[in-house]
Chain A
Amino acid sequence: MSKNKKEKKVRAVPVGIGILVFIVAFGAGVISKFTIQPSWAKEYSVEWSDEVGTLKADLSYGDGEANKFDLYLPKDSSRESYGLVVYLHAGGFTSGDKTDDRDTLAWLCSKGYVAAGINYTLRTETNTASVLSQSNEIKAAVPKVVEAAEAAGYPVDKMTVAGGSAGHCLAMIYAYRDGKDAPVPVVFTYGAVGPSCFVAEDWGVFGIGYDTDESRTAGAALFSVMSGESITPEEMQDGSYLEKMHAIAAAEWVQYNPVPTVVAYGTQDKVQPFLASLRLKAALEESGVDYKYFELPHSGHGLQNDNDIQRQWMEAVSEYLNQYMPTEAGGSK
């Protein structure tokens, strides 16, 4: 072997090691992004165990296959009354399950609340489920949840309804539209990134709201699916579609039943329109109700880039839960 070849081989070894180290460290960086959570986040998540309470799973509230709920009952069964927190799962109205929020529900249960995760019929290619039908299922489910809690020895005297994304949308509809018909007073609602109204010009992230036939056709298709009503491109043009969207436009119902609210939205959201959340904020402001609205300027639908504000949002949720549903309120039996 010549001297030159030997020198090249000697140099190639550290370069090879360098490349290998780069790949391993890059992979570690990727994994760390998924696995390392901010320390404060652990305060709002509890691993379920018999020490936390009792779980009654898959209780039925209707004839539909998805009409099931899980009830998390706190360990302390000695109080005269309990606050109920219903938490609705995310998934774009087409996917997700009540068990996705098990750690959140366990956290709520560990705070002394009766907690419930409710499934609703998801939209598929073969059914006609809509946001309207899903919201009506939630409305039908809540009295059954309260009944089941009472039957288990946990009488409920007030409730909070919450959720994430699609679940947040349904939670807001229940609080503002159906809250007056609830079996117990709805005293608080919270959640994040749930679509709160359906004014086409806000929905630019979906290519809707532009002055073109294509945009109106897309808008009519999407809003028809969501509302469960047949909406035409012509109705998109003349604005009459808004009447058909009203039943699921939570922001439009705030004035009829303003409920204390804590919400968070990412200004860069590509999955649901941030602009719609500004209409919710205006409605809350106008109603005079006690509310907190958090805007995460660097984040999208996952609220993923603003840990400090996300922490403030969860602190506000905790503060409002303590204020509107103090766990010691019921006293002992």
Chain B
Amino acid sequence: MSTTVKRIIILGVIIAVAFVLGRLAVRAALNMLLGGTLFGGNFL
């Protein structure tokens, strides 16, 4: 596997993790204001 392919895969993982964390951060903030659980219910 070339270095470029490895870097693309790593970037893909970073994008997926960051996107999920962004959604979780909003959910956590809304839960603090309105009430709610961090997990369960809708996916994210």
- Interface residues, chain A, with chain B CB atoms under 8 Å away: 14, 17-18, 21-34, 205, 266, 268-271, 296-302, 304-308
A11 to chain B, nearest CB (A): 11
Partner of A304, one of B10, B19, B22, B36: B36
The minimal Cβ–Cβ distance linking B35 to chain A, given in whole angstroms, is 3
Across-interface contacts of B31 in A (CB, < 8 A): 268, 300, 305
Question: Contact check: which of A25, A299, A306 meets B19 at CB < 8 Å?
Answer: A25
Closest B residue to A36 by beta carbon equals B23
Interface secondary structure of A, over-half rule = helix
Residue of B nearest to A304 (CB): B30
B41 and A297 contacting across the interface, CB-CB below 8 Å: yes
Given contacts A271-B34, A299-B41, A305-B40, contact A26 B18 (CB under 8 A): yes
Distance in Å: Cβ of B11 to nearest Cβ of chain A: 6
Complex interface: chain A residues within 8 A of B27 (CB): 33, 304-305
Knowing that A30-B22, A299-B34 touch, tell me 16 more A-B residue pairs with CB under 8 angstroms. Answer: A22-B14, A23-B18, A25-B14, A25-B18, A27-B22, A29-B21, A29-B22, A29-B23, A34-B26, A268-B36, A268-B37, A297-B37, A298-B37, A298-B40, A304-B27, A305-B36
How many chain B residues touch A (CB < 8 A): the figure is 29
Asked if A32 meets B23 with Cβ closer than 8 Å, knowing A297-B41, A298-B37, the reply is yes
Chain B at the A interface: mostly helix, strand, loop or mixed?
helix
Question: Would you mind naming 22 contact pairs between A and B with Cβ atoms under 8 Å apart?
Answer: A14-B7, A18-B11, A18-B14, A21-B14, A23-B18, A25-B19, A28-B19, A29-B25, A30-B25, A30-B26, A32-B19, A32-B23, A205-B35, A266-B36, A269-B35, A297-B37, A298-B39, A298-B40, A299-B35, A300-B36, A305-B31, A306-B42
- B16 to A, closest residue via Cβ: A25
Contact A268 B19, beta carbon cutoff 8 Å: no
Residues of A with C-beta under 8 A to B34: 266, 269-271, 299-302, 304
Residues of B with C-beta under 8 A to A298: 36-37, 39-42
**Quick check: B30 and A302 within 8 Å, CB to CB?**
yes
Are A21 and B15 within 8 A (Cβ)?
A: yes
With A25-B14, A25-B15, A300-B31: A305-B23 Cβ-Cβ less than 8 Å: no
A32 touches B22 (CB 8 A): yes
Instruction: Kindly list chain A residues whose C-beta atoms are within 8 Å of the C-beta of B20.
Output: 29
- Which partner residue on chain A sits nearest B19 by CB separation? A29
Chain A residue nearest to B7 in the complex (CB) = A14
Q: How far is the CA of A23 from the CA of B19 in the complex (A)?
A: 9
